[in-house]
Structure formats: structure tokens, C-alpha cells
Structure 1
């Protein structure tokens, strides 16, 4: 079995970032560092008080610590990771674009009064689950060891559970709508002969390349070789050879002349026999 640290290191970058961000947001609330309504989505505050952070911050608040919060975080760790490793394997920029498109779609829907919800992190989670259910429709899912169903029906089963537990369904429903819109534009519409209109923008590829995490096949931009590197310097091998991350031709020539064949000390040697 892997340790918690090994499990954390094994997570793909986007799901890891989003899950940790949601956990840190709720932890900050637990310690009383902010009022949750200061990060809630409010178009009135955005346009009259210029509190533009509300357009982003509401996507990272899953609520206070509770069973509801734990279930949503597990859904990110389960279905978000499976989606990122499966259909979006080696397509980190495409996965980031899916989340950005989903967030923009949710912001548009929230502008309609009866679809508005103050916190839409749960909607993003349901979007992830919905896209996963369409990518793995025949996967066998066991819910609480009681019901076994196919992956295609998972979002609807979770929606029914929220209804039973008395939770608000609006965030779940608009998340499923955003997920269906993305899946329709990227999979169903092109398969029906339509034009692929939701290509990942170049700036998203640049963002992922600058971030230096994940992999994107056929990326239109080159990954920044310095991304994710906080220090570059010289290193020394155990046999005395000096290695350097980047050197000029003149430095390489000097290193060749002064290397000493990797021997740190030269002198006479004697056999044990004395000869």
C-alpha cells in the first residue's frame, strides 16, 4: 500500500490542484479567516463594487467540513483523476480547457435569476462526473454497497441521493448541463458530421507549458524548459566529476582541460606484498 504522500504525488496535476484548492478554501473557513459570502458569486458586487474575484473564488468553495464536502472531494479524487488519466491522458491543456469552458458556461447560466447559485464548485464536480459517465458508460459503479449500476446513470443516481438528503439540486443540475454542452460540442456534434468548434485555445496551451506540469501531445507551443525549476546550479558526482546544467563552449573546454580524468587525488600506491 502506498503512503498518503505517495498517493498525493501520484495524482495528475489538474485534479490535484483543484482538489487541494478546494480543501484549502474550506480549511481557511474552518479557522475563520474569511466570510464565505465574500467569495460568493454576486454580479451586483462584481459590476458595482468591482469585486471581480467573485467570478473565480466561488468555484473553489465546496462548503464547510461535512459529509457533503467529503463526498464532493472524493468525487474529484475519483472521477476527476480517472478522467484526467483516461480520455484526457497526455492532454492536460484539453482538460484545463474543459474546466475553463465549464466555468464560463456556469457563469452565463448563473446570470439567469432562477439558475443562480452562490457557490458553483459543486457544479464543476457534477460536470466532471457527467463527462466521466459519458466516457465510461458501461463501467460498473457500486453506491454504498447497496446499488450497482452502469456509469452512464451515475450523475442521476447522485442527483437522487442529494434529493433524499435534502440538498439543493440547482448546482447539480446546471453542472450536468455544462457537462452535456461540452460533451456535445466536442464529441457528439463532430461524430454527427459537424464542425469541431471547441478547439483548445493557444493561450491555454501556453499556460500549461508555462506551468510545466502534465503532457499535451501535438501542442502548438513548446514547453518552457525552465518551468517548475526554482534553482539551477552545479552538481558533483561521487567519483569527482563535475556536472553543470548549462555551460558555454569555453566553459566546457576548461572543464575538459581541468577535469583530471575524474581522479580527486593522485599519488604513489603500494601493493600489500610490498613490491
Structure 2
């Protein structure tokens, strides 16, 4: 059985970062380091007093330490990690863009007074659940050992649980709307013959490359050479041409040799001309 430290290190980068940020936000509230009213979404204060941090901080608040908070954190660890290791495997930038697009969609919906919610974290969590349910519609889910259902119906089951526990349903419904909008634009519409209208922007690829965590197949940007972890996207030859991932080999550092005359680093073991 893996230790907690080993389990933490094994988590994919995006889900781990978001989960830790939500946990630290709740821990800071428990220590009374801030007032929730200072990080909630308030368009009046954003526009009049330029408190733009509210557009970001509201997405990391899942509530104080409680059963609902623990339940949402488990959802990130279970279904967020499942997405990042499954459909978004080696697509870190695409997964980041999914979360960013969901956040932007929720901010746009919050402009409507009836759809406004001061904290968007629960909506992001429910968006993750919805996208997971569409990617794994036939997975068998067991809830508390009492109900067994297919993954497609998981958001509706969680919606029913929130109704039973007396939690507000509006954040959950907003998250489902944001998740369906993303899934429709990236999967359903292209499968129906339409054009893919929601491609991951270049700045997201650059952000992930600069971050140095995760991987992205066929990344349009080079990795950051100063990052602690190599960004393993499409390789770049020194003469400016690209190679596919199948043409790229990685050898131990002590086997690498200086660049050859054609501008491509020789990565194999050197050989003497006399054959020794």
C-alpha cells in the first residue's frame, strides 16, 4: 500500500494543484487568516475598486472544513484525476483549457443576477463530474454501497444527494451547464460533422510549457529549459524543423554528446573509428 506521500507524488499535476489550492484556502479560513467576503465574486467591487482577484479566488473556495468540503475534495481526487489520466492523458494543456473555459463560462453566467453565485468552486467541481460522466458513460458507480448506476447518471445522482442534504443546487446546475457547453463544442459538434471551434489557445500551451509539469502531445511550443521537469511535447531540431514524438529518443544524460555538424545532437554512445 502506498504511503500518503507516494500517493501525493503520483497525482497528475493539474488536479493535484487545484486540490491543494482548495485545501489551503479552507485551511487559511480555519486559521482565520481572511474573511470569505474578501475573496468572493463581487462584480461591483471588481469594476468600481478594481479588486480583480475576486475573479480568480472565488474558484478555489469549496467551503469551510466540513463533510461537503471533504466530498468535493474527494470528487477532485477521484474524477478529476480520472479525467487527467484517461481522456486527457498527455494532454495537460487541453485539461487546463477545459478548466479555464469552464471558469470563463461561469463568470459570464454570473453576470445574470438570477445565476449569480459568490463562490464558483463547487460549480467547477460539478463541471468535472459532468465531463467525466460523458467520457465514461458506461462505468459502474457504487454510491455509499447502496446504489449502483452507470457513470452517465452520476451528476444527477450527486444532484439528488445535495437536495437530500439541503445543499444549494444552483452551483451544481451551473457546473453542469458549463461542462455540457465544453463537451458539446469539443466532442459532440465535431462528431456531428461540425468544425472544432474550441481549440486550446497558444497561450495555454506556453503556460504549461513554462510551468514544466505534465505533457502535451504535439505541443506547438518548445519546453522551458529552465523548468524543473521537462515539458515532453513535440521535439524541435536545432535547425528549426520539427520531428514527431516517434522520432524522438531520450538517452541518459551521461551518454549525450556535443551537437554534430548538421545541427542535431547525437544521443547514442560514441564509437571509435578503429571499432573499439
Does the pair score TM above 0.5?
Answer: yes
Provide the residue aligned with 2:17 in structure 1.
Answer: 17
Provide the residue aligned with 2:52 in structure 1.
Answer: 52
Provide the residue aligned with 2:68 in structure 1.
Answer: 68
Asked if 1:95 corresponds to 2:79, the answer is: no
- 1:132-147 mapped onto 2 (5 Å cutoff): 132-147=132-147
| DSSP-derived class of the 2:148 partner | strand
Structure 1 residues 43-79: Cα deviation after superposition (integer angstroms, max 9, x where no partner): 0010011100000000000000000000000000000
Distance 1:155 1:84 in 2: 18
Deviation at 1:246, TM superposition (A): 11
| DSSP-derived class of the 1:68 partner | helix
Provide the residue aligned with 1:168 in structure 2.
Answer: 168
Distance 1:45 1:57 in 2: 14
Provide the residue aligned with 2:81 in structure 1.
Answer: 81
Provide the residue aligned with 2:148 in structure 1.
Answer: 148
- 1:98-137 mapped onto 2 (5 Å cutoff): 98-137=98-137
Q: Which structure 2 segments of 5+ residues have no match?
A: 230-253, 260-276
Deviation at 1:221, TM superposition (A): 0.4
Distance 1:228 1:195 in 2: 37
Normalising by structure 2, what TM-score?
A: 0.83
| DSSP-derived class of the 1:149 partner | strand
Q: Which structure 1 segments of 5+ residues have no match?
A: 230-242, 249-275
| DSSP-derived class of the 1:90 partner | coil
Deviation >2 Å, runs of 4+: 245-248
Asked if 1:184 corresponds to 2:181, the answer is: no
Distance 1:164 1:210 in 2: 44
Structure 1 residues 139-193: Cα deviation after superposition (integer angstroms, max 9, x where no partner): 0000000000000000000001000111100100000000000000000000000
Distance 2:33 2:159 in 1: 32
Distance 2:21 2:134 in 1: 26
Deviation at 1:228, TM superposition (A): 2.1
| DSSP-derived class of the 1:185 partner | helix
Distance 1:82 1:222 in 2: 27
Provide the residue aligned with 2:36 in structure 1.
Answer: 36
Structure 1 residues 108-132: Cα deviation after superposition (integer angstroms, max 9, x where no partner): 0011000000001000000000000
Provide the residue aligned with 1:208 in structure 2.
Answer: 208
Deviation at 1:247, TM superposition (A): 9.5
Distance 1:122 1:87 in 2: 22
Normalising by structure 1, what TM-score?
A: 0.83
1:246–1:126 CA distance, 2 compared to 1 (3 A):
farther
| DSSP-derived class of the 1:148 partner | strand
| DSSP-derived class of the 1:142 partner | strand
Provide the residue aligned with 1:251 in structure 2.
Answer: none
Which one scores higher on RCO, CA 8 angstroms, separation ≥ 6? Answer: 1
Distance 2:133 2:177 in 1: 13
Distance 1:246 1:133 in 2: 48
Distance 2:221 2:8 in 1: 28
Which protein is bigger by CA-based radius of gyration?
1
Distance 2:89 2:20 in 1: 20
